[in-house]
Amino acid sequence: MCTHPPIIVVATVDNPTDGVSLARALQVAGIHFLEITLRTNAGLEAIHQIRREVSGPVHGGRHFALARRG
């Protein structure tokens, strides 16, 4: 049996709602880890919106990685 390491998507968003849409799409695709960068003013608000609006456990990390387990 072959096991693969998890995929971690790293995204920069210009609009906080884009982060919510991305998180939901990744969950549907079976990708359970998302990191939103803080390169734009929208990054931190996107993290807050994802935590409020996307179901499943959320784990904040050193780099604001959000783990999604569906």
pLDDT in the model for residue 27: 85
Q: What is the DSSP string of the chain?
A: ----PPPEEEE--SSHHHHHHHHHHHHHTT--EEEE-SSSTHHHHHHHHHHHHS-S-----TT-EEE---
Q: What is the CA radius of gyration of the chain?
A: 12
- The closest alpha carbon to 66, from 3, 4, 24, belongs to 24
Residue 30 inside a domain? The answer is yes
Residue 2 inside a domain? The answer is no
What is the tens place of the pLDDT at every residue in 28-38?
A: 888 888 888 88
Mean residue pLDDT across the chain: 79
Residue 47 inside a domain? The answer is yes
Token digits of residue 64: 């604001």
Residue 31 inside a domain? The answer is yes
Residue 54 inside a domain? The answer is yes
Global pTM? 0.75
pLDDT in the model for residue 49: 92
Residue 21 domain boundaries: 8-67
Total number of domains constituting the chain = 1
Residue 64: pLDDT above 70? no
pLDDT in the model for residue 42: 92
Q: Which of 15-19, 49-53, 54-58 has the lowest mean pLDDT?
A: 54-58
